[in-house]
Amino acid sequence: MTASISFALSAANEATAPPERRGVARDGVRLLVTDVAARAQHHATFRELAVFLRRGDLLVANDSATIPAALLARRRDGTAFALHLSTKIADDLWIAEPRELREPLAEGERATLAEDANATFLAPADAAHPRLWYVLLNAAPPLDAFLARNGAPIRYRYVTEQFSLADYQTIFARVPGSAEMPSAGRPFTPRVLTSLRTAGIDLATITLHTGVSSPERHERPYHEWFDVSPATAAAVNATRLRGGRVIAVGTTVVRALESAYADGESIAASGWTELIVTPERGVHVVDGLLTGFHEPEASHLDMLRAFADAPLLERAYAEALDAGYLWHEFGDTHLIAPRHVKN
């Protein structure tokens, strides 16, 4: 099933740089709150997040750190193209996306990288994601040092210049591995975390390494590596047992927590997930969602409809567009507040 929410996104609603470069604090971005029970929207700034949560709620964030996954590659004829690493399978085997190609790649083709390294394109990843390839990297180890010297954060056409890797990290970043920033966590600052603790709102983390999204291609998510620790599973279960609500900071957290669910409770789990959360499947662990604003007809909108129905989301997105909210990883935020406290 594809997303049923469609809208036109103008350039005026695209965040082209981090808010700090626009004179706005990280936690000063805007926050649209969709109240599911009241079927209404409220406007605020992100630093007011605690006002819209309740004592005993649990926020769960993604602690995956962004890697400099964009590389410059050259074909045998000398033409250059962008190579975006996406998902690490082994130290030298990745799923990656070649971009800006004039001619299609052939299986077995080798491209050169910096420092005499190279990348061999073994085969397309699968029929559902033809833009992605299995790529064998041959670079002097360790790879993270190679990427630090020669890679850059992935950016798309709406970001007008190259920003530092630090601009693509969240306050939770701990485990390197995401091709693109788990951006729902970007507006959090020490000031916001202090306000949450003061309000009696708890915090836990999961790890899910995000792959490339390529926003011009609205495909279903493919498999990603995740980890839900015993401590986080216990925190989720304790929150729900006492009637609190579990709020996911980003769609990646929803995917991880819902992948670590069995026999009516959250469990510790680690590995690859292919789970796609849809309205038909619903959610079993997560009660609410803090996220950014997603592209028109993006598959992530299906996940949002597991928390709020399409008419309510359409109204929220129309209001965000009219009010000048900003999209993408450096943009504004959207809290889909849970309907009620579970008993």
Per-residue pLDDT of the chain (343 residues; tens, 9 = 90+): 445 677 889 999 999 999 999 999 999 999 999 999 999 999 999 999 999 999 999 999 999 999 999 999 999 999 999 999 999 999 899 999 999 899 999 999 999 999 999 999 999 988 767 889 999 999 999 999 999 999 999 999 999 999 999 999 999 999 999 999 999 999 999 999 999 999 999 999 999 999 998 654 566 778 899 999 999 999 999 999 999 999 999 999 999 999 999 999 999 999 999 999 989 999 999 999 999 998 886 777 889 999 999 999 999 999 999 999 999 999 999 999 986 544 3
- Please give the pLDDT value at position 340: 53
What is the location of CATH 3.40.1780.10 in the chain?
A: 11-66+164-337
- Please give the pLDDT value at position 343: 36
What is the location of CATH 2.40.10 in the chain?
A: 70-150
- Please give the pLDDT value at position 218: 62
- CATH code of domain 70-150: 2.40.10
Secondary structure (H, E, C), the chain: CCCCCCCCCCHHHECCCCHHHHCCCHHHCEEEEEECCCCEEEEEEHHHHHHHCCCCCEEEEECEEECCCEEEEECCCCCEEEEEEEEECCCCEEEEEEECCCCCCCCCCEEECHHHCEEEEEEEEECCEEEEEEEEEECCCCHHHHHHHHCECCCCCCCCCCCCHHHHCCCCCCEEEECCCCHHHCCCCHHHHHHHHHCCCEEEEEEECCCCCCCCCCCCCCCEEEEECHHHHHHHHHHHHCCCCEEEECHHHHHHHHHCEECCEECCEEEEECCCCCCCCCCCCCCEEEECCCCCCCCHHHHHCCCCCHHHHHHHHHHHHHCCCCECCCCCEEEEECCCCCC
Which CATH class name applies to 11-66+164-337? Answer: alpha beta
- Please give the pLDDT value at position 339: 63
- Please give the pLDDT value at position 297: 67
